[in-house]
């Protein structure tokens, strides 16, 4: 499964007011692992940047003066994301801006024509109702280091969001299921000691089979994980 974690920075808050995208950052996940591939581009918006936006990302119009315009990179960008599942925090914001950029080029296609989308803000609200679910708040909740994030940046935020998304949807890895040999238990001296083998004459353990209701509940839980995360390791065993 190929997923793209995406973030943008913009000149302001509303594309309807003529605001533009000034940075796109994407990182690729393949089967829930970072592949090392990314797309990152600063863009010349050909307009001023609002003071409020400048305080958030620190990207000035002077810095962007020699950068390409969206029309110069649109094909490369769409080729990178084509057919993937986009992971975006507060997806309507980024999608509205990217759709507006496509419209300004006179194109009929929109982001939804190229990709499926998961909104991690909506996912976080389902998992943590009534709590703060900004990217900063989620980093603290999942103990993800974002100390390098003094200002917003599309590529850095995409990289951080990848960690947050994997943490949010990785509950199935916390079920205590492992097919590796168990680690040796530490002794009182702090050194690992091998586990004690069970005596051969020990009676066999009784196997308690699940009831039909328990099997149905288990399947329902796996289905819910798959629907929410788009992926369930249990189905791949």
CATH number of residue 131's parent domain? 3.30.420.10
* Segments forming the whole domain that contains residue 88: 2-169
Query: For the chain, how many structural domains are there in total?
Result: 2
Are residue 145 and residue 232 in the same domain, yes or no?
Answer: no
Helix, strand, or coil (residue 88):
strand
- Chosen domain end from 169, 194, 223: 169
| Residue 157 domain-assigned (yes or no) | yes
| Residue 107 domain-assigned (yes or no) | yes
**Per-residue model confidence (pLDDT) at position 100:** 98
Residue 230: pLDDT above 50? Answer: yes
Q: Nearest to residue 50, comparing CAs of 94, 15, 104, 11?
A: 11
Are residue 20 and residue 77 in the same domain, yes or no?
Answer: yes
**Per-residue model confidence (pLDDT) at position 174:** 39
Catalytic residue annotation: 152
Are residue 69 and residue 142 in the same domain, yes or no?
Answer: yes
| DSSP H or E stretch at residue 44 | none
Tens-place pLDDT, residues 117-176 = 999 999 999 999 999 999 999 999 999 988 876 667 899 999 999 999 999 998 434 333
Q: Write down the mean pLDDT value for the chain.
A: 85
Stated pTM of the model: 0.71
Residue 189: pLDDT above 80? Answer: no
**Per-residue model confidence (pLDDT) at position 228:** 72
Handedness of CA 87, 93, 96, 101 (dihedral sign): negative
- Chosen domain end from 137, 169, 201: 169
């Amino acid at each position: 499964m190929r997923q793209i974690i995406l973030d943008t920075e913009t000149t302001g808050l509303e594309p309807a007011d003529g605001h533009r995208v000034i940075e796109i950052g994407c990182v690729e996940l393949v089967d829930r692992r970072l592949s090392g591939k990314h797309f990152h581009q600063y863009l010349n918006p050909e307009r001023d940047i609002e003071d409020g936006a400048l305080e958030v990302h620190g990207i000035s119009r002077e810095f962007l003066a020699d950068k390409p315009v969206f029309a110069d990179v649109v094909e490369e960008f769409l080729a990178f994301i084509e057919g993937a599942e986009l992971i975006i925090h507060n997806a309507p914001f980024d999608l509205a801006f990217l759709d507006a950029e496509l419209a300004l080029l006179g194109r009929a296609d929109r982001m939804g024509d190229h990709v499926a989308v998961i909104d991690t803000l909506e996912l976080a609200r389902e998992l943590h109702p009534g709590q703060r679910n900004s990217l900063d708040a989620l980093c603290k909740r999942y103990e993800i280091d974002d100390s390098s994030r003094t200002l917003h940046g599309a590529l850095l935020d995409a990289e951080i969001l990848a960690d947050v998304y994997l943490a949010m949807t990785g509950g199935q890895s916390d079920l205590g299921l492992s097919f590796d040999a168990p680690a040796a238990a530490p002794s009182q001296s702090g050194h690992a000691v091998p586990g004690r083998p069970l005596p051969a004459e020990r009676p066999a353990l009784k196997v308690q089979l699940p009831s039909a209701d328990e099997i149905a509940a288990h399947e329902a839980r796996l289905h819910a994980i798959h629907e929410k995360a788009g992926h369930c390791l249990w189905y791949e065993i």
